[in-house]
Every structure is written in structure tokens, then in C-alpha cells.
Chain A
Amino acid sequence: MSGHSNYEPKTGFEKWLDVRLPIVRLAYDSVVDFPTPKNLNYWYTFGGILAVCLGIQLVTGIVLAMHYVPHVDYAFASVEGIMRDVNYGWLIRYMHANGASMFFIAVYIHMFRGLYYGSYKAPREVLWILGCVIYLLMMATAFMGYVLPWGQMSFHGAVVITNLFGALPIVGESLTTWLWGGFAVDNPTLNRFFSLHYLLPFMIAGVVGLHIWALHVPGNNNPTGVNVKSKEDTVPFHPYYTVKDGFAISVFLILFATFVFFNPNALGHADNYIPANPLVTPAHIVPEWYFLPFYAILRAVPDKLMGVLLMFGAIATLFVLPWLDTSKVRSMRYRPTAKLYFLIFVLACLVLGYCGGQLPDNHVIPGLSTFKLIDADLNSFVWLSRIATLYYFSYFLILLPILGLTETPLPQPESISEPVLSHPASTPAGATAAPEKKG
């Protein structure tokens, strides 16, 4: 895709094809010969893992669509029919349902990795933004997919999320009516969600293509954040990273299989096995775990419109991140102060996720009955989410812009090979041991 190509067509057919459609050359240049920094650690394998996740979701999803009936009267029973009567239907459906969670686990690790090693900085801004687009599309797809089984959580989740758009002034009401195709979430809503749930993954696949293209122009970032200086710094993608990614994928599949085969409903919610009933809302309604941090941000704000804006703002901030971080140093390995704030940021995200699953007024520390300060119970989950939300936004909007100007980074290596050569891992005894050591 960029630069020169080392591909030499060998057979007559390859030569014939190469001047007409150089698709073998494209494949060779991007997954065989592609020069990749030799110091990528296991955090960098999640790109490959995500590709596998997308593939699994597409294949299982297309198969499920062969048996699923998008109608309020049959949706629930057709999903159970898949579980009971379709040959291996249970396997395919559990792979798809748990695959969504696995996809999000991988994408969150992939994003945190990008944040830590500064993979969003020049010249990779477009790469980062395309990643954010994929993430948005994933969220939309996952949300609509969760509606399809038409259980209690599907239905009331759809009600809550579509009502978010009702917060918008002037257009809100007509927008929600338009989304629903009626005056409440009903059959037209289910039908269009099914259609879009089938469409969006192909859009994701398209943007993933662009994402990989945008990766292959500047090439991979790496844990040092230092640019590739010479051939010494890289290895060809195949076999070095095909085998490393392959191993990581295999280990990830073990985690995946643990859920699919032995704990298939652990990440879901029991209420979703109750058929949708528009007249009764479940006592404790929560979204799927991967939406919990945003759900916590939404509930942290007492105002409906502000809550919605803040929730979408949390994602929108990611898009402008490349211009918020003022530091010239990419990797936080050489930014000790920033590293500390980053770790707190990860913690804040986990705290938000935890708060999202709790009732807002419940106490964080059960023993401590109240911890009041001017009428505010600071020992409640809503206050904990407020603090975490505040940190989430300060990290991007205050800390990263200021830190780049004020902090003193550690000296960076001249090249990727430099720290490698003096790295303890290159002594014979540990020549192949875990190569990574942060900081």
C-alpha cells in the first residue's frame, strides 16, 4: 500500500494476475513482508484478536439470521428454537452472544494500549479516529443486537436508550417517534433494528479495512514510541507476528470458550429470559457490562439533557484526543507523571463501570450509613460516579494538555534496537523470556 514492494510473482499465473489485479501483491505487502517493529509486546496482539472477533460475529450472525424471526410474537421463541432444535444452534448462539462481550473486552484493551503508548499521535491521528468510528459502530450494533431476543432487558433497554434521543430540544420527540416507527418500542422497531444489526457489521468491516490501511501507511507504533530508524528495528510480519498473534488469539479463545461452554449466561442478565412485557419493567435495569461506564456517566448528572450530552461527550472527546495531548513523547514509558494519571484513568473507567451496575442511591461502603456534606450523601454510587466522571473528562481536557507542557519526560532511546540490545532479556538464559518491561 505504501512504499516499495518486495513481492516477486513466481508462477505464470501470478505474473499474469499481478499486472491486472495486484491482489496477491497487496496481501504479500501487508501481511507477509510488512516491516513491523520487533519490540511489540502482547498488548499489541489485540488488533489481530479483534479481527478474529469480527469474523466470528459475522459468521455466527449470518447463520443466526437464517433461523431468527424478527417479529414481536416469534422473536423470543425463535431464539429458544435456535437453542433447542437447530443443529448446534446452542453453540452458534452462545458464540454470538458471548462473542459480543469478548469483542468489547478486546477493544477496550486495544484502546487502553493505544492511550498508553500514544498511538493516537502524529502521524496516526486518522488511524485513531477510524478506530473511534469502529467503536461507535460496535456500540450501535451491540445495542441493536441485544434487542433482538425480545426479552425483558432487550425491550426495556431499547426503551431507555431510544428515549435518550428524546432529551434533545425541539426535535427530540419526533426523533424518537421516527426511531420507533410508532409511539413506543414495538414490532416496527424490532424489525428495523434487525435490519440495521445486519447492516452495521459490514460497515464495521469496511472501516476496519480503512483502519488497517491507515496503519500500514505510517506503520506500527511500538512500546518505545520511537520511530523505526532502520531495517534493524523491524522484522517481517510473517512469520514473526503471525505466530505471536496466533498464540495470543489461541489463549484468548480459551477465555472465550470458558464462557461459551461453561458459563454461557454469566455475562448476560437472567431477566432477558423473560419474554418482553411492555407493562412491567424489571426491578433493576442495567445495560450489558460494556455500556456500564457510559450508563454511570449518564446517571451521574441530574439533568436529562446534560446527562445525555455528557455521555455522548465522553465518546466525542476520544475523537479530538490527538490534539488534546500536547506531549511530543509518545510512549508513557518515558512519561512517569502521565503514566500515573493514566493508571488512575483506567481505575476511573473501572469504577464507572462498577457504579453503572449499582443502584445510584446505594451506599458504596455499606457499614458507613451516611457521609453527608451539604445535603449530598457522598457515600452513594451516584457521587462516586460523579467523581469518576469528573476525572474522566479532566484527564482528557485538562491533564493531557497541561502535562505535555509541564512534565519532564525521561530520556528516550535513540532507536528501537538500542534499549533492546541493552535489555536484560537479551542475555542467553532469558533470550526468549517475556521481553516486556514497562518504564
Chain B
Amino acid sequence: MLRKGIALAAFGLTVLAAPAALANAGAAPVREAEFSFDGPLGTFDQAQLQRGYKIYREVCSSCHSMNLLSFRNLGEKGGPFYDPEVKNPNDNPFVKSIAKDYQINDIDSETGDVVQRPGTPADRFPNPFPNEAAARASNGGALPPDLSVISKARHHGAHYIYSLLTGFKEPPAGLKISANQYYNPWFPGDLTSAWSGDPAHVPAGGLIAMAPPLAADKVTYDDGTPSTVENQAKDVAAFLTWASEPTATARKQFGLAAMIYLLIFSGLLYASYRRIWRNVAH
């Protein structure tokens, strides 16, 4: 009876969670990359996170903000620059030197003037643009989305980011594209109005205002990993996924312990239940 109940509940959930499947409307099905953090017990690869951060810093951050992240996050447990020797991320030398490279706007407490000072681990990642209007003006009217939680904000998370970044293609003949637009089969959209070919075969995907951001050897890897577009896309997808939920690893570890505990607990309760009910016909 109980098993039936759970099965029913699971069935119900599958049915009701189905809308998620038609997520990225009009886009090609995502290309699955292999990530170390996939699966219920997967964890992040720190070297990959460091490479990914480098790509964010050298490529993405010129247009995309990450407002919810502070430099200290980079040195927190599970982060790209976590050092078990330095428990307090605010004292982490890597984090401090990264932060120091940035000039942060501040107010001089004496004069009230706007001044720039070197960053500290407590500072947030600086925004590349002072406001939304400036960001749009610099990007042909399109707003580069904030990347703080981008992996959670897109169906298929890291796999979507990877597919998008490696997915720029020459537009098929018959697709009308205006200046500053790029065709990407993995970007959700509806190309029907821009398509002059066979109406039954509208190409998948959409038009994105972001130019292909990655190129081979655009970023120099310090650890000898070949700097291909594939690797770059994977690494930055991993970094953005970590950034979307820095506590994911802690969550999975806690979860494993909780599951083991609950299974033992259920077993004990079942034994107790059988014992208490053994003389009751019911």
C-alpha cells in the first residue's frame, strides 16, 4: 500500500513537473557536457573553477555583472581559491590580491567626494556599467544579464551555458539577421518572422545580441589545459554553476548523511511498528 502510494506520488510529480521539459521554447535540445558536479554526489573541480573564473574575469566581466558575488566568495569552502589552511576567506592571499586589482567606488568619509580605492575581499564584484541604461547603450540596446544565478535561472543550467557558448553557427540561408545579432540554435526564441524559407522548417534557436565570446587561445590557461572553445565553455559553465549556488557541495554532503540517517530511522520505526502490532489482527 505504501509502495503504491509512493509510486503514485512519484507518478503525479513526474506528470506535474513535465512542463519543465518544454523549457527553452524553440531552441535545440541542449548538448550535454560531462561535468564533475553532475549527479547527486558530484562536486566541483577546483582547477576547473579557477580556469572558469579566469574566463569570466577576462572575457565575460567586460559586459556581464555578477552583483551577488563578493571576492570573499572565491575563497570560501568549495570555492575556486579555497585554501584549507586559511579558513577565513577574508584572509586568503589569492582573494586579497584579486580584490586589490579592482578599483572600487567609495565615498571619502572626510570630504564626501566619490573616490576610488583598491578592493577588499568584502567588496562585491564591480559592475561593468554604472546602470542599466548605460549597459544597454553599450550593447546595441540589449541588456547583458547578471550572471550571479544564471545557472539556476536557465533550464539545464551548466549544459545550457555550454551549449550556447559553443553553439554559434552561420545563419542558414533565408534567415534575416540585422546588425549586432547572431544566430544560435541553442538560444530560446521564435524565428518564424525572420524566416523566408520553408515555413514547415523554421530553424531552431534564436537571435542573440552577444557576439561569439570565446575563441581558441583567447585566454591563457596556467595549468596546461588546452585553451579550446570547448574547454573554455565548459570551464566557465562550471564556474557560473558554482557561483549560482556556492553551497551546493555542502548541501549534497549534508543530504547524504541525512538520507542514511532517515533510512536507518525508518528501518527502526518499521521494526518497532511490526513489534507493537504483532498481536493485533487488522
Pick the most buried of A251, A283, A350, A435: most chain B CB atoms within 10 A of its CB.
A251
Evaluate contact between B68 and A94: CB separation under 8 angstroms.
no
Interface hit among A121-129, A178-186, A269-277, A403-411: A269-277
- Please tell me if B258 contacts chain A, counting CB pairs below 8 Å: yes
Evaluate contact between A435 and B282: CB separation under 8 angstroms.
yes
- Please tell me if B154 contacts chain A, counting CB pairs below 8 Å: yes
- Please tell me if B105 contacts chain A, counting CB pairs below 8 Å: no
- Please tell me if B179 contacts chain A, counting CB pairs below 8 Å: no
Interface size on B, residues (CB 8 A): 57
Evaluate contact between B269 and A246: CB separation under 8 angstroms.
yes
Evaluate contact between A284 and B22: CB separation under 8 angstroms.
yes
Smallest CB gap from B150: residue in A: A273
Set A41, A260, A273, A426: member contacting B149, Cβ < 8 A: A273
- Please tell me if B215 contacts chain A, counting CB pairs below 8 Å: no
Measured between beta carbons, the chain A residues less than 8 angstroms from B255 are 257, 260-262
Within 8 A of B (CB), among A273-308: 273-275, 283-284, 286, 289-290, 292
Measured between beta carbons, the chain B residues less than 8 angstroms from A246 are 269, 273
Within 8 A of A (CB), among B248-282: 250-252, 254-256, 258-259, 262-263, 265-266, 269-270, 272-274, 276-278, 280-282
Measured between beta carbons, the chain A residues less than 8 angstroms from B148 are 80
- Please tell me if A431 contacts chain B, counting CB pairs below 8 Å: yes
Smallest CB gap from B3: residue in A: A434
- Taking A240-B277, A250-B266 as contacts, is the C-beta distance between A42 and B1 under 8 angstroms? yes
Evaluate contact between A77 and B68: CB separation under 8 angstroms.
yes
Pick the most buried of A109, A270, A273, A283: most chain B CB atoms within 10 A of its CB.
A270
Distance in Å from the Cβ of A42 to the closest Cβ of chain B? 5
- Please tell me if A357 contacts chain B, counting CB pairs below 8 Å: yes
Interface hit among B11-19, B80-88, B165-173: B11-19
Query: For the complex, what is the distance from the CA of A431 to the CA of B22, rounded to whole Å?
Result: 48
Set B244, B265, B273: member contacting A244, Cβ < 8 A: B273
Measured between beta carbons, the chain A residues less than 8 angstroms from B272 are 243, 247
Interface of A, helix, strand, loop or mixed by DSSP: helix
Measured between beta carbons, the chain A residues less than 8 angstroms from B17 are 266-267, 289
Evaluate contact between B5 and A43: CB separation under 8 angstroms.
yes
Set A81, A353, A420, A421: member contacting B16, Cβ < 8 A: A353
- Please tell me if A1 contacts chain B, counting CB pairs below 8 Å: no
Pick the most buried of A248, A262, A292: most chain B CB atoms within 10 A of its CB.
A262
- Please tell me if A210 contacts chain B, counting CB pairs below 8 Å: no
Query: For the complex, what is the distance from the CA of A247 to the CA of B264, rounded to whole Å?
Result: 11
Evaluate contact between A269 and B254: CB separation under 8 angstroms.
no
Distance in Å from the Cβ of B12 to the closest Cβ of chain A? 6
Measured between beta carbons, the chain A residues less than 8 angstroms from B250 are 90
Within 8 A of A (CB), among B1-28: 1-2, 5-6, 8-9, 12-13, 15-20, 22-23, 25
Evaluate contact between A270 and B282: CB separation under 8 angstroms.
no
Smallest CB gap from B146: residue in A: A275
Measured between beta carbons, the chain A residues less than 8 angstroms from B259 are 254, 257-258, 261
Set B9, B73, B247: member contacting A255, Cβ < 8 A: B9
Set A91, A265, A354, A426: member contacting B15, Cβ < 8 A: A354
Distance in Å from the Cβ of A30 to the closest Cβ of chain B? 19
Evaluate contact between A261 and B251: CB separation under 8 angstroms.
yes
- Please tell me if B188 contacts chain A, counting CB pairs below 8 Å: yes
- Please tell me if A216 contacts chain B, counting CB pairs below 8 Å: no
- Please tell me if B246 contacts chain A, counting CB pairs below 8 Å: yes
Query: For the complex, what is the distance from the CA of A43 to the CA of B17, rounded to whole Å?
Result: 23
Measured between beta carbons, the chain A residues less than 8 angstroms from B146 are 275
Distance in Å from the Cβ of B67 to the closest Cβ of chain A? 8
- Taking A243-B273, A270-B23, A271-B153 as contacts, is the C-beta distance between A254 and B12 under 8 angstroms? no
Query: For the complex, what is the distance from the CA of A436 to the CA of B282, rounded to whole Å?
Result: 9
- Please tell me if B152 contacts chain A, counting CB pairs below 8 Å: yes
- Taking A83-B247, A262-B40, A270-B153 as contacts, is the C-beta distance between A284 and B12 under 8 angstroms? no
Smallest CB gap from B160: residue in A: A270
Measured between beta carbons, the chain B residues less than 8 angstroms from A353 are 12, 15-16
Set B153, B263, B281: member contacting A431, Cβ < 8 A: B281
Smallest CB gap from A354: residue in B: B15
- Taking A84-B247, A90-B247, A354-B18 as contacts, is the C-beta distance between A265 and B5 under 8 angstroms? no
- Taking A109-B5, A274-B153 as contacts, is the C-beta distance between A432 and B277 under 8 angstroms? yes
- Please tell me if B77 contacts chain A, counting CB pairs below 8 Å: no
- Taking A84-B246, A353-B15 as contacts, is the C-beta distance between A91 and B251 under 8 angstroms? yes
Evaluate contact between B23 and A247: CB separation under 8 angstroms.
no
- Please tell me if A364 contacts chain B, counting CB pairs below 8 Å: no
Measured between beta carbons, the chain B residues less than 8 angstroms from A423 are 281
Distance in Å from the Cβ of B1 to the closest Cβ of chain A? 5
Measured between beta carbons, the chain B residues less than 8 angstroms from A267 are 13, 17
- Please tell me if A253 contacts chain B, counting CB pairs below 8 Å: yes
Interface string of A424-435 (1 = CB under 8 A from B): 011000011011
Distance in Å from the Cβ of A93 to the closest Cβ of chain B? 10
Evaluate contact between A261 and B254: CB separation under 8 angstroms.
yes
Smallest CB gap from A84: residue in B: B246
- Taking A41-B1, A262-B252, A284-B22 as contacts, is the C-beta distance between A432 and B274 under 8 angstroms? yes
Within 8 A of B (CB), among A1-56: 38-39, 41-43
Distance in Å from the Cβ of B39 to the closest Cβ of chain A? 9
Smallest CB gap from B145: residue in A: A274
Distance in Å from the Cβ of B267 to the closest Cβ of chain A? 9
Set B19, B149, B254, B280: member contacting A38, Cβ < 8 A: B280
Binding site for A on B (CB under 8 A): 1-2, 5-6, 8-9, 12-13, 15-20, 22-23, 25, 40, 67-68, 73, 145-146, 148-149, 152-155, 188, 244-247, 250-252, 254-256, 258-259, 262-263, 265-266, 269-270, 272-274, 276-278, 280-282
Binding site for B on A (CB under 8 A): 38-39, 41-43, 77, 80-81, 83-84, 90-91, 94, 105, 108-109, 235, 239-240, 243-244, 246-248, 250-251, 253-255, 257-258, 260-262, 264-267, 269-271, 273-275, 283-284, 286, 289-290, 292, 350, 353-354, 357-359, 420-421, 423, 425-426, 431-432, 434-436
Q: Could you list 4 further interchain pairs (A-B, Cβ under 8 angstroms) beyond the known A42-B5, A269-B20?
A: A247-B266, A262-B40, A431-B281, A434-B2
Write 14 A-B pairs (CB below 8 A) sorted by A numbering.
A38-B282, A81-B68, A90-B247, A240-B276, A251-B2, A254-B262, A254-B266, A266-B20, A275-B146, A284-B19, A284-B25, A357-B19, A432-B277, A432-B278
Closest 10 CB pairs of A and B: A261-B255, A357-B19, A273-B153, A289-B16, A247-B269, A426-B281, A262-B40, A250-B266, A90-B247, A273-B152
